[in-house]
Amino acid sequence: MPLDQQAKTLLDQIASVDGPKLHTLSAPDARRVTGSMFQVPADKIEKVFKIENRKIPGPAGSIPIRVYTPEGPGPFPVLVFFHGGGWVICDLDSHDAPCRLLTNKAGCVTVSVEYRLAPEHKFPAGVEDCFAATKWVAENAKELNVDANRLAVGGDSAGGNLSAVISQLARDAGGPKIALQLLIYPATEAELDTQSHKTFTDYFLTRDDILWFWAHYLRGPADRKDPRVAPALAKSFKGLPPALVITAEFDPLRDEGETYGEKLRAAGVPVTISRYEGMIHGFVSMYDALDKGKQAIEESAAALRKAFSR
């Protein structure tokens, strides 16, 4: 399909802004420049019954989290959410809007995790924080008014990568039990050699940006072969949680996300692979401008509801 007209309009608007390219900036400057990119106007923000910022124990100090609780008595199912941003940018605020929607539409508590970012904290710092947060949620279910037997993990891009990795770590550690891994255009490999990487080099997420993210995140070339960096390199995919894999047609990460879904399926894992034609990387976070972003959030919420009802 051709590029979706709404996506084309958005890309044209972005291109019209005269500013430095992401990959030319330092990490702190990139965070400042992109800080408000995905935020939804206040008059359009989803209202949630209760939102609380907290800090929980982590392997290298406290981890900030944001807990979104829907209306009702509970105990609720729970989604542990890891934001995207190439392990370098974004935070709780950048992904506040989709977390609000998922909370209400899936009827779950959402715990958004502000894991440590690179390059100040290279791999495996983010992985360690996300796994610690997932275990903390399961261990403190009563305090959060959630059901630890109905726990999902999810995230977009780097957050999708972390969700896949945490699902593998939880399986190998014997818990926590995960009901669904919600993988929204996840990074699952580190070689950047798929056809979509070669074809879609300048559709919001550029090849230069991707190289910049990986250079900040990894300690060295050997990390590219670590399944905690590239979950597609896991020795086994058996016994992993059911998955919804959402991809975008014009996204360099498209092929590796879909290949990962196929690897899960081949291992007997229930998987839905959902490609959004005409879409670009980041389209779910840009749902305010892209109708298919809204559709993907609806699909994600439906998958969570189904997983939580099992």
Write the secondary structure of 222-246 as one string of H (helix), E (strand) and C (coil).
HHHHCCCCCHHHCCCCCCCCCEEEE
- The residues near 136 (Cβ < 8 Å, ≥ 6 apart) are 56, 57
| Known catalytic membership, residue 281 | yes
Of the candidates 83, 96, 147, 157, the residue annotated as catalytic is 157
Catalytic residue among 94, 251, 255, 285: 251
Encode 184-201: b = buried (16+ Cβ within 10 Å), e = exposed.
Answer: bbbbbbbebebebbeebe
| C-alpha torsion angle, residues 11, 158, 104, 51 (rounded to 10) | -110
Question: Known catalytic residue: 157?
Answer: yes
Alpha-carbon distance of 1 to 276, in angstroms, equals 10
Which is it for the CA torsion 100, 232, 245, 7, positive or negative?
A: positive
User: CA 101 to CA 245: how far, in whole Å?
Assistant: 18
Q: How far apart are CA 176 and CA 258, in angstroms?
A: 25
Residue 251 appears among annotated catalytic residues: yes
95, 112, 281, 300: the catalytic one is 281
Supply φ then ψ for residue 290, to 5 degrees: -125, 115
Query: Helix, strand, coil % (nearest 5) of the chain?
Result: 40, 20, 40
**Catalytic (active-site) positions:** 157, 251, 281
